Structure 1
Amino acid sequence: MNKALEILKKYWKHNAFRHPQEEIINSVLEGKDTFALMPTGGGKSICFQVPAMMQDGICLVVSPLIALMKDQVHNLQNKGIKAIALTGGIHSDEIIDLLDNCQFGNYKFLYLSPERLQNDWILERIKNLPINLIAIDEAHCVSQWGHDFRPAYLKIVQLKEFFPKVPFLVLTASATERVKEDIIVQLKLDNPSIFTKSFYRENIAYMVFETEDKLHLVQQILTKNPEPSIIYVTNRKACLETAHQLESLGFTATFYHGGLGSKEKTGHMKLWMEEKVQVIVATNAFGMGIDKANVRTIIHLHLPQNLENYYQETGRAGRNGEKAFAVLLNNPSDVLHAEAQFLSVLPDKAFLNLVFSKLCSYFQIAYGEGIDEQFSFSLNQFCAKYHLPTLKTYNALQFLDRQSVINLSQEFSEKVSIQFIIESREVIRYMSLNPNDEEIMLSILRTYPGVYDMQTSFNAALIAKKSNSDEKAVLSLLQKLKDKNIVELVAKNNDATITFNEVREDERTINRVSKHLEAQNKLKTEQLRAVLYYSNETKTCRNKLLMRYFGETIEEDCGICSHCIAKNKKKQNPASVSEKIVELLKMQDFNSRDIQKLTKLPKDDVIFALQRLLENDTIRINSNNLYSLK
């Protein structure tokens, strides 16, 4: 193992392996198929990068995450290690050149997505490469029970036929026992060595708090813990609004979501990584490949889609081994919001059939034709033409992409971005002088609250719908506002492209893939129910609940989660609490927050005492929502 340690020190500047990296590397070097379940931050990439460097030939890495592939290739190249990624948007001629480099240029790593393996000519070229190891990252995508199932992953097994003596190293950070067993079967792993690192993170305190005023609680948490923090939200609008709210409270904050350009993403992330801001407010687009050791607090303002994602996101805290906090805030209305956001937008078989047939009509593809045809595509225009709900349609198209019926070349993004470059009072003055433009402008300002601060992606179809006008009128007004130097308008030519991978057969096509749709919808429903159970269960240690979900059993309560702290906290005498509140209200009227602050008593004790005092007619609530003595 001396050579492995030398490579680790030389290229990665670490003096020792983390458990169980060394054991996994040994297994791979012995030529065994190996399954490694290692939680976020466990150092999975080292497990294939080090043994690949110890052998002649090239390591093939299959990964679904383009951003992560690019990041790893960039990091390897910075270490002087030759690596290539076959990501989307690369023309065939360039792919041929890159594969020539792999074959004759002494490259050590070739990264590609599983979809690339569906191209026969690429597969033929790969068969001729001197492959020494096949690493499959995010392997939960292999299983239909995984939280991000991609049927293209099932094609990986054919590499077994071409490289029978090359070991498979299967890696995932989040797989239940059912998913693990399914992966082993689907990839035909030969008597694999199995390494599972416990999901238990003893230095992370998992907290769940129910509160009506989330921002106030966030303020308290960030004030008490001024170290680097991440706040996760579920949409771009909340991302921007929350960052602004935090800045108004005196915190330094930035934001990150999928709608930002690559330059903005890099700039915002750099601000946080270099600790020029305390907080980054982000959607789940943020985090892959981010390894910042001293993150103290992860706060989820909204319920996550599943516990797999939640665990990965919270796992970005406390990587330096010091105590860290993973806080989930909820209130009763969050359940309805989560169901609306995650479940009501799931396409069923009938809707999938509708979208596919409309898509074929949109591009005038005749029955029995269409294979390999490629088209430029605007999601907003497509949905507007056929009166389809945007998010549900996007989910349907994404499902068809994962089933390889179609191929989406890139993420959808709006063609236009705008920013108001005059002050708000001047905008109001313009609307008063131009009443015909007022309805559209008001819709813009209500939909995009950050449009004064930054270039904002703009959905013309949405604004047309909200303002009871048409898209042409909206775009015409934008051009007029640009000409008058009221807005800065940037038109982008970055629609998605859609490639049809098979001939049009309508219902026959959908019937073939619909069994996977039903299974995925059922799984997503079960996963959200698990999130709701975790957030509402009050009688069990939070760490125990998480470990149980991932198939682990821990005997002792963790002692640091919100449940354990509440359980171990000395209970206040209700009569004593009531007495303190009454004494306080003799001076003046207060709201519940001020009462809690002044008495320095636990929130639950204060609320319980207030309810008892109200029931006993000792106090009342006045019109200003303040408590006063009767």
Structure 2
Amino acid sequence: MQQQALDILKKYWQHDTFRDPQDKIIQSVLNGHDTFALMPTGGGKSVCFQVPAIMQEGLCLVISPLIALMHDQVQNLEKRGIKAIALTGRLSVDEISDLLDNCRFGNYKFLYLSPERLEADWIIERIKELPINLVAVDEAHCVSQWGHDFRPAYLKISALKKHLPQVPFLALTASATHRVQQDIVTQLDLTKPFLFKKSFYRENIAYMVFDTEDKLYRLQQMLTKNAGPSIIYVRNRKSCHDVSQQLNSLGFRATFYHGGLKEKEKNTNMQAWLNEKVQVIVATNAFGMGIDKHNVKTVIHIQLPENLENYYQEAGRGGRDGQKAFAVLLVNASDVKTTQSQFIDVLPDKKFLKEVYLKLNTYLQIAYGEGMGEIYPFNYNDFCHKYKFHPVKTYNALQFLDRQGVLTLSKEFTEKVNLQFIIPSKEVVRYISLNPAEEEPILTILRNYTGIFDMETVINTALITKKAAITEAELIMLLQKLEQKGVVTLRTSGNDSSITFNEVREDEHTINRISKFLVQQNDIKVKQFESVIQYINNTTRCKSRLILDYFDEENTTDCGICSYCIAKNRKPKNPLEMATAIMELLKDNVLNSREIESNLGFTPEETVFAIRLLLEHNKIMMNTNNQYTLK
């Protein structure tokens, strides 16, 4: 049996050996045991259910909340000649029925679906007819109310277990505390499950935290010193383009990746990086799913992550070849406040959630006790503008209602106007001089969307009309005119999304039923963010051990390669010797602090300390170009 598993691994995945504990998990499943696998991202969770499913007659049912990951895995399986289906998107009952018929009679090996699909009794009845050989529950922490992304739909899985008593269940997650692990076993009704945990320790990754005001300069230093393939994670799409452009202007080969790119451009940019035509890919967290490039040398975050789970996952994309790699977090004084405003201050409380729910029903004209099963076209921008709701906070409230199964959002919201200027900026200036009445709205767009010459950009029409003091109808007419004259490309859509209500409108009853989960999840998010702050601010403990502490894993020895360990082991330089060296250097030169640092090989902290010492003792002075000279 072990040899057969290895043969399948080699045939479809071109690997000769399993990573520990993949082989043990596979054997447990093949022996018919319920199994729990706690494995960090990058540990190869999918192989743990894909290999045993291929080895046996029948079909593996995979339950996952991540639509993008389902698509990605189905595509990867099909590329390997393995038949797989995903029940995603807005499929009709007939379409789902046809796909389930294909699973029954078409020799398919994998059926992927979201837990919400199990809420339809007729789907469970159809699944009972399928030759299921294994049920894999991905992101299993979602079944626990103490998990960081609890989804009530996961509670339906235990009902499925009653219908498939002889089929082993495999629960998989990348992060779960001991409390969450116990809750998963209970809620999924697992029978004496075999538990397999892979250590979160990555001995070849040097976790670095650097305090720096000039992040671009620090990037330049690191990418020059470590010339291997690198990933730079940023928080938004605009930063992807800006940082990539800045790196290219400094002589690096860089590209970018985010969820707003067209599929062709995503693939082109990704392949350029995978094939090492470029050194750096600047990306949002949309990048990384299904990516397994073994020789990534450096993963750099230039903004704070919202939690250590995400950070560990993204940092772990470095060094998969076992060679030393660097996971770097660049921070400055304003980062904590900025990140708190973006992640914590926009969490909806019960009062705001109730207000959004009530206004949503009013906006869509749903009467009390009605709405269930209905699909409503929905303009997100107009909704926020009409009720003066904070867009991000509102989106978080709607997402929570979606996760609780109250409603279903058709997709991530986008603005309804997509725009790109396709003539040079000097030609736009010329156009404005010939059409002065259109100057204010055009300049307002250009001021608010600086990358609009480089890429198709979604614009907030409510913002533009407010700042330019025109109506939305006037703005759309102007944009259509600019398109006709070949100044811009324009795509518009009247409604940017749709909402399906999964239950009738019940106002207080609905909100009271789910609000306790909102409080719990907000509390989890706040604690997660506090753990990030502790990680960056702690200067008395090994960074690798701090990460292991967070994941309830004990390690009694320091890693020896993180920023703390290096600073601890570095012999402190004598302040007088540093000051003397700087004065010698400045005898024949006028230099800024970076040039002093580079010439003398000091750290940024050592350089700043020595310069301050010399300034305080009036040995040197700074000129108007921020350069230092002897007095």
Any conservation in 2 of the 1:368–1:504 contact (CA below 8 Å)?
yes
Alpha-carbon distance, 1:145 to partner:
2.9
Rounded to whole Å, the distance in 2 between the matches of 1:252 and 1:38 is: 34
Rounded to whole Å, the distance in 1 between the matches of 2:93 and 2:262 is: 26
Alpha-carbon distance, 1:541 to partner:
0.7
Any conservation in 2 of the 1:229–1:297 contact (CA below 8 Å)?
yes
Q: Which residue of 1 aligns with 2:583?
A: 582
Rounded to whole Å, the distance in 1 between the matches of 2:358 and 2:70 is: 34
Any conservation in 2 of the 1:305–1:531 contact (CA below 8 Å)?
yes
Alpha-carbon distance, 1:193 to partner:
0.7
Runs of 4+ that moved beyond 6 A:
none
One-letter amino acid matched to 1:375: Y
Alpha-carbon distance, 1:283 to partner:
0.9
Q: Which residue of 2 aligns with 1:416?
A: 417
SS of 1:285's partner is coil
SS of 1:469's partner is coil
One-letter amino acid matched to 1:549: Y
Deviations 1:569-622, CA, capped at 9 Å, x for gaps? 122111000111122233343221111112222222111112222222333334
Any conservation in 2 of the 1:118–1:155 contact (CA below 8 Å)?
yes
Q: Which residue of 1 aligns with 2:44?
A: 43
Any conservation in 1 of the 2:378–2:495 contact (CA below 8 Å)?
no
After TM superposition, the structure 1 stretch with the greater mean CA deviation from structure 2, 515-524 or 500-509, is 500-509
Q: Which residue of 2 aligns with 1:71?
A: 72
Any conservation in 1 of the 2:256–2:281 contact (CA below 8 Å)?
yes
Q: Which residue of 1 aligns with 2:436?
A: 435
Alignment of 1:57-206 (within 5 A): 57-206=58-207
Rounded to whole Å, the distance in 1 between the matches of 2:258 and 2:101 is: 36
The answer to whether structure 1 residue 242 and structure 2 residue 243 are counterparts is yes
Alpha-carbon distance, 1:321 to partner:
1.1
Q: TM-score, normalised by structure 2?
A: 0.97
Rounded to whole Å, the distance in 1 between the matches of 2:330 and 2:122 is: 50
Any conservation in 1 of the 2:350–2:515 contact (CA below 8 Å)?
yes
Call closer, same or farther: CA 1:227–1:492 in 2, change over 3 Å: farther
SS of 2:432's partner is helix
Q: Which residue of 1 aligns with 2:224?
A: 223
Any conservation in 1 of the 2:420–2:490 contact (CA below 8 Å)?
yes
Q: Which residue of 2 aligns with 1:546?
A: 547
Any conservation in 2 of the 1:174–1:312 contact (CA below 8 Å)?
no
Alpha-carbon distance, 1:319 to partner:
1.0
Deviations 1:283-325, CA, capped at 9 Å, x for gaps? 1111111111111111001000100000011111111111111
Q: What's the RMSD between the two structures over aligned residues?
A: 1.6
Rounded to whole Å, the distance in 2 between the matches of 1:340 and 1:560 is: 33
One-letter amino acid matched to 2:212: T
Gaps of 5+ in 1: none
After TM superposition, the structure 1 stretch with the greater mean CA deviation from structure 2, 333-342 or 548-557, is 548-557
Rounded to whole Å, the distance in 2 between the matches of 1:390 and 1:244 is: 28
Alignment of 1:477-556 (within 5 A): 477-492=478-493, 495-556=496-557
Any conservation in 2 of the 1:259–1:457 contact (CA below 8 Å)?
no
The answer to whether structure 1 residue 332 and structure 2 residue 308 are counterparts is no
One-letter amino acid matched to 1:76: L
Q: Which residue of 1 aligns with 2:282?
A: 281
Deviations 1:532-568, CA, capped at 9 Å, x for gaps? 1101111111101001100111111111111111111
Alpha-carbon distance, 1:17 to partner:
1.4
Rounded to whole Å, the distance in 2 between the matches of 1:265 and 1:458 is: 21
Rounded to whole Å, the distance in 1 between the matches of 2:494 and 2:58 is: 41
Alpha-carbon distance, 1:68 to partner:
1.4
Rounded to whole Å, the distance in 1 between the matches of 2:581 and 2:275 is: 46
Rounded to whole Å, the distance in 1 between the matches of 2:126 and 2:162 is: 15
SS of 2:606's partner is helix
Rounded to whole Å, the distance in 2 between the matches of 1:369 and 1:415 is: 28
Any conservation in 1 of the 2:416–2:495 contact (CA below 8 Å)?
yes
Alpha-carbon distance, 1:268 to partner:
2.1
Deviations 1:98-131, CA, capped at 9 Å, x for gaps? 0001112221110111111112221221122121
Alignment of 1:371-386 (within 5 A): 371-386=372-387
Q: TM-score, normalised by structure 1?
A: 0.97
Q: Which residue of 2 aligns with 1:621?
A: 622
The answer to whether structure 1 residue 367 and structure 2 residue 374 are counterparts is no
Any conservation in 2 of the 1:413–1:494 contact (CA below 8 Å)?
no
One-letter amino acid matched to 1:456: T
Deviations 1:475-525, CA, capped at 9 Å, x for gaps? 222112112211111235772210111111112211111111111111101
SS of 2:251's partner is coil
Alpha-carbon distance, 1:63 to partner:
1.0
Aligned-pair identity in percent equals: 63
Alpha-carbon distance, 1:377 to partner:
1.2
Call closer, same or farther: CA 1:426–1:335 in 2, change over 3 Å: same
Alpha-carbon distance, 1:259 to partner:
1.8
Q: Which residue of 2 aligns with 1:259?
A: 260
Any conservation in 2 of the 1:62–1:137 contact (CA below 8 Å)?
yes
One-letter amino acid matched to 1:406: L
Q: Which residue of 1 aligns with 2:345?
A: 344
Any conservation in 1 of the 2:257–2:269 contact (CA below 8 Å)?
yes
SS of 1:596's partner is helix
Deviations 1:363-397, CA, capped at 9 Å, x for gaps? 11111111111111121121112111111111110
Rounded to whole Å, the distance in 2 between the matches of 1:200 and 1:70 is: 30
Rounded to whole Å, the distance in 2 between the matches of 1:535 and 1:302 is: 12
Deviations 1:150-184, CA, capped at 9 Å, x for gaps? 22222222112111221111111222333222222
One-letter amino acid matched to 2:439: E
SS of 2:208's partner is strand
Alpha-carbon distance, 1:449 to partner:
1.5
One-letter amino acid matched to 2:575: P
After TM superposition, the structure 1 stretch with the greater mean CA deviation from structure 2, 238-247 or 173-182, is 173-182
Any conservation in 2 of the 1:177–1:550 contact (CA below 8 Å)?
no
One-letter amino acid matched to 1:113: S
Q: Which residue of 1 aligns with 2:10?
A: 9
Alpha-carbon distance, 1:459 to partner:
2.5
Rounded to whole Å, the distance in 2 between the matches of 1:379 and 1:144 is: 29
The answer to whether structure 1 residue 594 and structure 2 residue 590 are counterparts is no
Gaps of 5+ in 2: none
Rounded to whole Å, the distance in 1 between the matches of 2:252 and 2:594 is: 21
SS of 2:292's partner is coil
SS of 1:93's partner is helix
SS of 1:6's partner is helix
SS of 1:528's partner is helix
After TM superposition, the structure 1 stretch with the greater mean CA deviation from structure 2, 473-482 or 361-370, is 473-482
Rounded to whole Å, the distance in 2 between the matches of 1:373 and 1:116 is: 16
One-letter amino acid matched to 1:282: A
After TM superposition, the structure 1 stretch with the greater mean CA deviation from structure 2, 590-599 or 357-366, is 590-599
The answer to whether structure 1 residue 296 and structure 2 residue 302 are counterparts is no
Rounded to whole Å, the distance in 1 between the matches of 2:153 and 2:405 is: 7
Rounded to whole Å, the distance in 1 between the matches of 2:263 and 2:384 is: 26
Any conservation in 2 of the 1:352–1:396 contact (CA below 8 Å)?
yes
Any conservation in 2 of the 1:259–1:413 contact (CA below 8 Å)?
no
Any conservation in 2 of the 1:140–1:149 contact (CA below 8 Å)?
yes
The answer to whether structure 1 residue 211 and structure 2 residue 212 are counterparts is yes
Rounded to whole Å, the distance in 2 between the matches of 1:176 and 1:205 is: 24
After TM superposition, the structure 1 stretch with the greater mean CA deviation from structure 2, 239-248 or 328-337, is 239-248
SS of 2:291's partner is coil
